[in-house]
Structures are given as C-alpha cells and as structure tokens.
Amino acid sequence: MKLDILAFGAHPDDVELGCGATLAKEISTGKKIGIVDLTRGELGTRGSAEIRDKEAAKAAEILGVSVRENLRFKDGFFVNDEKHQLEIIKMIRKYKPEIVICNAIDDRHIDHGKGSKLVSDACFLSGLRRIETSLDEKVQTEWRPKLVYHYIQWKNIEPDFVVDVSGFMQKKIDAVMAYSSQFYDPNSKEPVSPIATKNFTESIEYRAKDLGRLVFVDYAEGFTVERYVAVNSLTDLK
Ligand SMILES: [Zn+2]
C-alpha cells in the first residue's frame, strides 16, 4: 500500500499528541496516512503494553489512519544503529510515503530525540539502492521520502512552520483520550506521571490555541524542518 504520509512515534500516543489534528485534517482531504510506533511504551508509569496496544488501535480508528504498525523496539533503550535503521527502512520502502513525520528533535523523554534522529537517518539510508532489504520474502526497492518533518512535544521548540488545525482539535483530543490509562483521571489509583496531570491534559488545547493566536487562527500545530521550506508563490502562505 502506498501512503502519502507516514508518521513515526517512539511511543504510542506521541503521534496523536504531536500532530493528531494535522493528520486528521490531511485525512479529511483524502490523504492516505499510516502510523508506525517504535515501541509499545512498556516503561510508561501507567497502564501496560497490552492496554496501550488496544488504546493505540482505538486512537488510529478515531483519526482514520489507513494502517498502524508497531516495531516493538525496547522502550527507553533502543539505539540508532544499523539493526534499528533497517527495520525503519523496511517500513519506508513498504509504504513509500512522500512525507515522513517523526518525533521532536529534542525533548524531555530521551526516546523522543533518539527516535527523531533514528527515523531521519533511516529516511536518508532508505534511498540508497545498495542497502538491501526484504519484507515477507519480497525484495524491496529503494525509496526516499521527499520531506521529513518533526512535530513538537513536551518542550516548547520554536516551529519552522505551523499548520492551521482549526476544526480538527476535537478529533485530536478524542484520539489522545483513547489512551485513557495515560492521562489525567482523578479516580486513578496509579502513580501520577508528568503527562497524567490536569495541567498536561489542558495543555493540549491551550498550546494549540497559543500557536494559533500567533498566526490569527483558532488552533495550530507546529513543526520543524530539515531544510528550507520552499513555496511556489508568496501567496501560498496564509
Ligand atoms: Zn513519547
């Protein structure tokens, strides 16, 4: 299956939190989108890998993505090496996306910056024909995505561009809240983590609102790029 956009996240819920509204907006215009999670988030303070598998499937359904896969790398300990790069290359060559979106370039959780560089490196390597991979006993051909974008997570990284996601915030929040084991729940008996606070849940909306405010729209999600943003015309920008 060929996809327009492939979004990677170190943990299930990274993609929803980082760019859920943008994906929902692209899907609404007919784009084919997939999500690949690198780990099952098994080190998360709350819930379990099994619970998060189910939550991730529910969130994917809410967003309307065409496919979601999990590479089952080791949460907290995966590294950017040949073995891990090859697994990501297989996904890129399988889905042939024009655009890859991945973790924030730097963040509080060490897996985010690590996952970001790992996916970015694999996007480049995937275009080298002498790197041989096969999937389901079929030899794959090289594929390099045209663009690699990084969403923004815990830290307030300055975006290189923002997407107007007005009208798609509710869908994002619904997808994020599918991970009910992870977020604020006053009745939960599990330990509190930074993302399980009321403030964090509220920040999903107020951070998008603040980014939107700066470009005169209701809500926006920000991204960083790896090369200059090129437009066809000055009037392309809103
Ligand atoms: Zn994460």
Q: At what angle do helices 14-28 and 49-63 cross, to 10 degrees?
A: 20
User: pTM for this one?
Assistant: 0.96
* pLDDT, position 188: 86
pLDDT digits (tens, 9 = 90+) for 98-135: 999 999 999 999 999 999 999 999 999 999 999 999 99
Residue 159 CB-half CA count within 13 A = 22
| Cα of 140 from ligand 1 centre, angstroms | 30
Average pLDDT of the chain? 96
| Cα of 8 from ligand 1 centre, angstroms | 11
* pLDDT, position 221: 98
* pLDDT, position 186: 85
Residue 115 domain-assigned? yes
* pLDDT, position 54: 97
Q: Tell whether the model's pLDDT for residue 88 goes beyond 90.
A: yes
Name residue 100's beta-bridge partners. Answer: 6, 148
| Cα of 1 from ligand 1 centre, angstroms | 27
Total of domains in the chain: 1
| Cα of 105 from ligand 1 centre, angstroms | 12
Residue 235 domain-assigned? no
| Cα of 10 from ligand 1 centre, angstroms | 6
Show the domain range for 200. 5-230
| Cα of 26 from ligand 1 centre, angstroms | 22
| Cα of 82 from ligand 1 centre, angstroms | 22
Q: Give 174-231 as a 3 state SS string.
A: HHHHCCCCCCCCCCCCCCCCHHHCHHHHHHHHHHHHHHHHHCCCCCEEEEEECCCCCC
Beta-carbon neighbour count of residue 216 at 10 Å? 9
| Cα of 230 from ligand 1 centre, angstroms | 30
Mean pLDDT for the stretch of residues 149-168: 98
* pLDDT, position 69: 98
Residue 237 domain-assigned? no
Residue 93 domain-assigned? yes
Residue 197 domain-assigned? yes
| Cα of 132 from ligand 1 centre, angstroms | 30
Give the CATH number, domain containing residue 190: 3.40.50.10320
| Cα of 175 from ligand 1 centre, angstroms | 15
Residue 238 domain-assigned? no
| Cα of 11 from ligand 1 centre, angstroms | 5
| Cα of 14 from ligand 1 centre, angstroms | 5
| Pair 100, 8: CB distance under 8 Å | yes
pLDDT level of residue 183 (50, 70, 90 thresholds): confident
Beta-carbon neighbour count of residue 58 at 10 Å? 16
